[in-house]
Structure 1
Amino acid sequence: MAATTTAERLRDAESAAEELRQALETLGVVLPSLRVDLASCTAEANRPLVDLGCCNLAMVRKLASVLRGCA
């Protein structure tokens, strides 16, 4: 069932962001700015987005390495 209220969309987006955070952490990847984009959870937008945020170059390279290993 699709989330319909702003609160439900926000909870769903927070849950998805946490799933991603945990999955990345098990691979040694930490995106310190990973968060829900609150503006995208409003009733008008109705499409929650997760902002992956900023990270340093070492973490970018670590993420690229992990992704190459999964290909």
Structure 2
Amino acid sequence: MTLKLRYFAVTCAIAFTLSVACEHRAYAYVDPGSGLLLLQSLSALFTGALFFCRKRLKSLITRSTVKETRSEANSE
């Protein structure tokens, strides 16, 4: 397992190094609104993840009350 992970890490490092070493000028224009689009996309991703995992997050924040379930069982 660690050997595969090591090969993957080395492959990613080589690919990144080659992409930086072989960089060419783009002569392109980047729209100023592109940063806001990226920010909006990241916030939507974060909000969607919170919405998807809301039950698990709620169970981490709130405590389960075992005493209430025992008192309900005794009253019936």
TM-score (norm 2): 0.32
Q: Which has the higher helix share?
A: 2
| Structure with max Cα Rg | 2
Larger RCO: 1 or 2 (CA < 8 Å, sep 6+): 1
Q: Which has the higher strand share?
A: 1
TM-score (norm 1): 0.34
